């Protein structure tokens, strides 16, 4: 059960995260507007013909934003490192067409490179590449039978979708890039995860970390405060705190790969409005954060079956996860 699922379906887990989650009044905006308010100006109107296109636009925009940031920090983007690549491998397996990777890998990588390495302006071809990546990523995360090659790569309503993406990226350039939120020497982690803490919730990877801020890019029509979005980011913060506690304060014989990151700030970037809504966990009492961390360790100890990914890893002879259990026990008993 993923972090999102636990927050929506497991009240005991949700209560732990809610205890330190910021409220609407706790947020600030980079623009000075009241957060989550009608003071926002709609810069990119919603023009989608089918509701199902909304999630595709959101995922495709995530890719384009990452590519633009990669341009700035001069970072190579490899297709096989993207979640979308898992979708291509899954599609190849599910359709039984072993030639799909050979057919699409090079054209997609070339499309990424032309934009990221070539320092080119956004164009229709780059938008179409992002839409294909968006379809692949959505497929990788879903359990939908009968999906075909055409369902993924033949983009429908292409003019509407590329026009929206162009508008979203123009606003991103003006409101995010030009405001200096990312610099040439920024430390950037794409899709950061939280090692053993992510495995304990069967998977948790965020959008992007830039310096000491964890961002979640949202392509939504509504400006209102959504507790689910805030709880998701708070969950990431708490999982990272747990990871740091385990890795840095306890002797673990086999350390799982993870992104060694530090952040205290979270930010929701609302792409249609060009607004950044942010909160700093340094504004929360450290004792409250510590109490939530202890309760989280207790929760994992009291649910020994844990998750599919954790159980699978436990059977791997290369890892001795008993040390992680001992660390969780020590944290739970530290109050």
Q: Is position 210 within any domain?
A: yes
Stretch (H or E) spanning 13:
helix 11-18
Helix (H, G, I), strand (E, B) or coil at 279: strand
Same domain for 95 and 166, yes or no, is: yes
30: nearest Cα among 180, 153, 239, 189: 180
Q: Is position 247 within any domain?
A: yes
Alpha carbon distances (Å) from 274 to 24, 25, 311:
18, 20, 42
Q: Is position 38 within any domain?
A: no
164: nearest Cα among 108, 222, 219: 219
Stretch (H or E) spanning 209:
strand 208-210
Count of domains in the chain? Answer: 2
Q: Is position 164 within any domain?
A: yes
Count other Cβ atoms within 10 Å, centred on residue 320: 13
Q: Is position 37 within any domain?
A: no
Same domain for 24 and 64, yes or no, is: no
227 CB-near residues (< 8 Å, 6+ apart): 21
Same domain for 174 and 316, yes or no, is: no
Please report which confidence band the pLDDT of residue 279 belongs to, taking 50, 70 and 90 as the band edges: very high
Same domain for 159 and 191, yes or no, is: no
Same domain for 335 and 187, yes or no, is: yes
Domain of residue 310, residue span: 1-30+183-335
Q: Tell me: the pLDDT tens digits for 193-234?
A: 887 777 778 778 889 999 999 999 999 999 999 999 999 999
> How does DSSP classify residue 330?
H
Angle at 312 between CA 309 and CA 316, to 5 degrees: 130
Q: Per-residue b/e over 76-99, b at no fewer than 16 CB within 10 Å?
A: ebebeebbbbebbebbbeeeeeee
Q: Which of 7-16, 182-191, 217-226, 257-266 has the lowest mean pLDDT?
A: 257-266
pTM confidence score: 0.91
Q: Tell me: the pLDDT tens digits for 99-153?
A: 999 999 999 999 999 899 886 789 999 999 999 999 999 999 888 889 999 999 9
β-bridge pairing 275-280 and 28-29: antiparallel
Q: Which of 57-61, 269-273, 309-313 has the lowest mean pLDDT?
A: 309-313
Same domain for 238 and 308, yes or no, is: yes
């Amino acid at each position: 059960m993923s972090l999102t699922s636990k927050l929506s379906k497991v009240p005991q887990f949700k209560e732990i995260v809610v205890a330190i989650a910021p409220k609407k009044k706790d947020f600030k905006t980079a623009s000075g507007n009241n957060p989550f308010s009608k003071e926002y100006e709609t810069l990119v109107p919603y023009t989608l013909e089918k509701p199902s296109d909304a999630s595709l636009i959101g995922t495709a925009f995530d890719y384009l934003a990452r590519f633009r940031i990669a341009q700035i920090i001069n970072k190579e983007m490899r297709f096989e490192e993207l979640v979308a690549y898992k979708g291509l491998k899954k599609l190849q397996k599910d359709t039984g067409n072993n030639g799909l990777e050979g057919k699409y890998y090079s054209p997609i990588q070339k499309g990424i490179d032309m934009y990221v390495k070539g320092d080119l302006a956004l164009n229709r071809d780059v938008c179409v590449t992002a839409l294909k990546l968006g379809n692949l990523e959505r497929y990788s995360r879903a359990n939908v039978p009968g999906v075909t090659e055409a369902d993924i790569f033949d983009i429908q309503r292409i003019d509407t979708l590329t026009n929206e993406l162009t508008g979203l990226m123009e606003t991103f350039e003006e409101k995010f890039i030009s405001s200096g939120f990312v610099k040439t020497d920024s430390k950037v982690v794409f899709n950061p995860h939280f090692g053993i803490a992510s495995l304990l919730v069967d998977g948790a990877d965020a959008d992007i970390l830039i310096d000491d801020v964890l961002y979640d890019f949202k392509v939504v029509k509504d400006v209102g405060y959504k507790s689910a979005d805030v709880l998701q980011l708070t969950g990431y913060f708490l999982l990272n705190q747990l990871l740091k506690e385990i890795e840095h304060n306890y002797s673990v014989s086999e350390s799982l790969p993870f992104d060694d990151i530090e952040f205290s700030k979270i930010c929701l970037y609302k792409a249609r409005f060009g607004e950044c809504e942010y909160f700093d966990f340094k504004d929360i009492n450290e004792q409250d954060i510590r109490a939530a961390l202890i309760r989280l360790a207790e929760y994992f100890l009291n649910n020994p079956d844990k998750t599919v990914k954790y159980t699978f890893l436990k059977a791997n002879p290369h890892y001795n996860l008993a040390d992680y259990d001992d660390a969780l026990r020590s944290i739970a008993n530290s109050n």
